[in-house]
Chain A
């Protein structure tokens, strides 16, 4: 499927800002299931410095600096991505086997996934998460089955409530209240996995949504999306390291490397804090507002804009 994504972030400042530094994670990677055909990052006002580097997780990360006084900052990322439906996966490893593979002993076999077992900014594993996860992981169950079960439970037991939470809402609150948005569902699920010693990472990206019947697609009406990935060492061993299996508790979709061809991956990290689309420090005393508009649409063209 060929998808065109426009992700526009607009900050307005009052009084104007004289100097600003920003970090952006807005460029989708090419993976086994998606190919980045074209990409553009337009920033207004024009930055003095714009530097793209690959971060520790393999994501493209842009640093930019604005040295002129500005009342508004507009960052528009446009991407054209070709996606493939995920392939079937064979994984029989049980969850205890995965857990034990990450307990250190001298000469332990190395997995790149090792760092996704630990606590991170928003993921604080603990007994509450372990207790919630437990029913999905009886002794000897395959990890992939347990993970799907956990995804179902979160989907069924949690209320999706837009605007009910903030970026800083702790996963513990979302668990206690059984409500949140995709980011909270993902954080809860990650904390469950890690509480059991299982590596799991946060995925940010986009999802193609169908407009209501009879309605046309509204520009900017979509949002960026988030889901999780778990690591299946047996699949990785047989497939050149490709062991990440994606699960989207919000929409109950899952698949090897992507939940589906209507999903586009933007970045991966331990949690939202590692890969927030925009992060910055401005010099100024005033207040600011931020608006984000995302449009995901199917397209036949090879151009970024019509």
Chain B
């Protein structure tokens, strides 16, 4: 391909970023060539070089893979994790010169100062309303105006800590503000991820061009939040998320990890005595600051929407009491209205005595009759936006783009506007500048110019002081839409802001890009003090992850053993059949209504196979699906492999079972499926033993597993003794198999079938990891570790367990008046009981708050 045709011109009417050319000079533009590139792009492609150009397709594919591997997603209001869509990122960055940035930075700072002042006024003195500078319709008439915040001054004095402005470069090269986000702006996390992915493809350009780094600004934000929060520099900051179903959950968890703050849902927080607390496995921990990603209407069901499950009851009272900093202060939603943009120039003059440095697109709020009259004849050149994001009384509407409308459509818009003028805001239509994007088609890969809108962030760094993050979350938009939203299927690009100075010798500026996405805490040891908090919810999920892992393993094993025994070469006695039937019902493998194998072996077997994947029966498939749910809720704590194992075993078993649901299911196919899930579960156990951080949460997981193991095996053995099945050769083999002890037993006792040997091996042995004695011992040790900080008046839970030693063997095997193995049976039923008590006590102590439903009255 000749070099000249590599760099196509932007479409007519758009500023051309690649060539740095205004739309008005379109007529004069010559053939596209490398020589005509803007200085920044010329430098970019110089660093790329010819080999770099030739491997752009490969780079593009690498970016896609990296995003997929990192699990970067954007949910489309999914209620299922399968609905996640990979984040879309284009190869080339948006390049911003230092001169342009200086202009943007000054304009953004002026605007954020102004918005903070407007916020303070509207929730305080209301001078702006009284002087007629702001219409009441845009304040009290806005559904996000939060009356509970009236008269409240936020702790630290700053209302807005994170503000986003959407900017576009117009046809003549000037920058314009399109809209602003003040409630819970998204993008700070995606921006980091974009930076990491793109710079790894262009390391030479990134270093050679002296691009400004992002980390310091994130650090300044978090340091400032801590400083301003009531806990001082040691404040505990958390991020309030609407949960995994939210469209930007990925970036919330990414950002929370990067900033070193806890990511919590409303149900994990509680307000006591006008203070905010996180419910952790060791009790309530004070929270001093909250980065809020939940919309204000849902923030507190006591005062805002009573149907909200996302918020924290009493949060607004805690804010009023000055006990928690919330970024941003609730109630900032009204500042997002496009209608407000039209009032900003006059407000800036009156409040700051300045003229606006960075203009917004011309905006008319139709609730003002003069504005309405002025703009009605010009609808065809404008964009029509809803003044309010939602409405108490009627639905809102989608943006209308005048230039795309027929005269009839325009006419009906004009009528709608006149019917409810307050609800309509008109904005001049702006074709945003076009950036080069990479189209990686196999036949003819090429550069394609596309329109882009930058989301620029200002973050607070002191009381009434902000700094602008030198970068942007830039989105590509279809040329016609005139605005950008990821939900509408856009893509994004990284944004490089140039340093004013040429690169110097300062190693801090020229060190590798790899430090960009390292968590802030890693480079700032002072932020690392706080031990990571295990929330009650996480604790509960960890405990159940342990129990379900073990339960899945035990029930797979039990189902396989039952099927094998029914078809074994040793004909099972009726006592063995009775026992197996009891085990199947106890373990949830067959519905209680199905026939006992003593009466109808064939029907029993069919019921067992049919139940394997029936989610109405607590059999193997059901347990695997619970395991997956517990794992999904702990996604951030599990290694990539660990999570994949959990997903795969559940999915594979579902597929295997699908094949079993024929009229006459084959037991050998079922046995194969169960063996497979058994070995897959062993890898999960391996990941849990070997690849998890060993904090108290991990101990809780092990405790869960051992409680499950002890209670299952003790029950099985007890039933075996009661039915006398263990004395039968087939029953004997079943016990050994259940305890995963067949090989080790025969190595020790050859072909012995003495019951005493069996009991030694599965109850009192100190070497068998499944012997009840060893399980109890491990459980005791782990509980003691978990409760090492307990105070004197807390019950020592491990004392509820009875530990058996090898010395106890003779007494356990004794026959007394009460019958055979009375002592052993007593020990077994005591163990089963203490397991259920322990489970309950652990719940009460570590996750008592999670299950508590709340309701509005």
Contacts and interface: CB of A to CB of B under 8 A. Distances in A.
B852 A65 contact: no
A107 interface: yes
Contacts of B392: 119-121, 124
A220 interface: no
A40 interface: no
Given A126-B394, A279-B306, A104 B136 contact: yes
Contacts of A283: 852-854
Contact of B302 (A119, A280, A285, A288): A280
B129 A114 contact: yes
Contacts of B140: 114-115, 118
Given A18-B852, A121-B392, A280-B856, A65 B141 contact: no
A103 B137 CA distance: 9
B440 interface: no
A117 B367 CA distance: 13
A103 B369 contact: yes
A51 interface: yes
A51 B306 contact: no
Contact of B393 (A48, A67, A103, A126): A126
A38 interface: no
Contacts of B272: 19, 48, 65, 67
Interface string A254-283: 000000000000000000001000111111
A119 B391 contact: yes
B696 interface: no
A108 interface: yes
Contact of B317 (A63, A114, A117, A288): A63
Contact of A56 (B151, B274, B370, B853): B151
A290 interface: yes
Given A49-B273, A274-B147, A104 B852 contact: no
Interface in A110-132: 110, 114-115, 117-121, 123-126
B150 A56 contact: yes
B141 A115 contact: yes
A280 B394 CA distance: 27
B147 A284 contact: no
B129 A281 contact: no
Interface string A38-75: 00000000001101011110000001010100000000
B147 A56 contact: yes
B320 interface: yes
B708 to A, nearest CB: 26
B141 A117 contact: yes
**Taking each of A104, A117, A121, A290, which has the highest tally of chain B beta carbons within 10 Å of its own beta carbon?**
A104
Given A56-B147, A108-B132, A124-B394, A49 B137 contact: no
A159 interface: no
Interface residues of A, number: 47
A17 B557 CA distance: 43
A107 B133 CA distance: 6
A257 B129 CA distance: 25
Contacts of A19: 270, 272
Contact of B856 (A49, A54, A103, A279): A279
A109 interface: yes
B368 interface: yes
A284 B302 contact: no
Contacts of A110: 129-132
B304 to A, nearest CB: 11
Interface in A69-116: 102-110, 114-115
Contacts of A117: 136-137, 141
A120 B272 CA distance: 30
Interface residue tally on B, bucketed by range:
35 or more
B857 interface: yes
B132 A21 contact: no
Contacts of A23: 302-303
B620 to A, nearest CB: 30
Contacts of B301: 281
A280 to B, nearest CB: 5
Interface in B363-392: 367-370, 391-392
A104 B273 contact: no
Contacts of A121: 392
A21 B136 contact: no
B313 interface: yes
Contacts of A54: 151
A160 B148 CA distance: 34
B855 interface: yes
Interface string B131-174: 11101110011000001101100000000000000000000000
B638 interface: no
B275 to A, nearest CB: 10
B314 interface: yes
A21 B273 CA distance: 10
Interface in A11-29: 11, 18-19, 21-23
B137 to A, nearest CB: 6
A49 B140 CA distance: 30
Contact of A285 (B147, B150, B367, B853): B853
Contact of B370 (A48, A67, A105, A120): A105
B132 A281 contact: no
A282 B129 CA distance: 38
Contacts of A114: 129, 136, 140
A72 to B, nearest CB: 13
B563 interface: no
B271 interface: yes
Contacts of B274: 49, 51, 65
Contacts of B148: 56
A284 B129 contact: no
Interface string B816-857: 000000000000000000000000000000000000111111
A281 B369 contact: no
Contacts of B394: 124, 126
Interface in B387-423: 391-394
Interface in B222-278: 270-274
A125 B391 CA distance: 11
Contacts of B857: 11, 278-282, 288, 290
Interface string B711-740: 000000000000000000000000000000
Contacts of A53: 151, 320
Contacts of A55: 147, 150
B302 A281 contact: yes
Contact of A48 (B270, B273, B368, B856): B273
A22 to B, nearest CB: 8
Nearest to A104: B135
Given A56-B150, A114-B136, A124-B392, A21 B302 contact: yes
Interface string B115-133: 0000000000000011111
Contacts of A278: 857
A63 B854 CA distance: 18
A53 B148 CA distance: 11
**Taking each of B140, B273, B856, which has the highest tally of chain A beta carbons within 10 Å of its own beta carbon?**
B140
A121 B303 CA distance: 12
**Taking each of B136, B302, B853, which has the highest tally of chain A beta carbons within 10 Å of its own beta carbon?**
B136
Contacts of B137: 104, 117-118
Nearest to A115: B140
**Taking each of A23, A126, A290, which has the highest tally of chain B beta carbons within 10 Å of its own beta carbon?**
A23
5 closest cross-chain pairs (CB), A and B? A124-B393, A115-B140, A104-B135, A281-B313, A114-B136
27 contacts: A23-B303, A55-B147, A56-B148, A65-B272, A65-B273, A65-B314, A103-B367, A104-B135, A104-B367, A104-B368, A105-B370, A106-B132, A106-B368, A107-B132, A110-B132, A114-B140, A115-B140, A117-B136, A117-B137, A120-B392, A124-B393, A125-B393, A281-B856, A281-B857, A283-B854, A284-B855, A285-B852
Given A54-B151, A104-B367, A109-B132, 15 more contacts: A18-B852, A48-B273, A51-B321, A53-B320, A65-B314, A67-B272, A104-B137, A105-B368, A110-B130, A117-B141, A118-B137, A119-B393, A125-B393, A281-B854, A288-B857
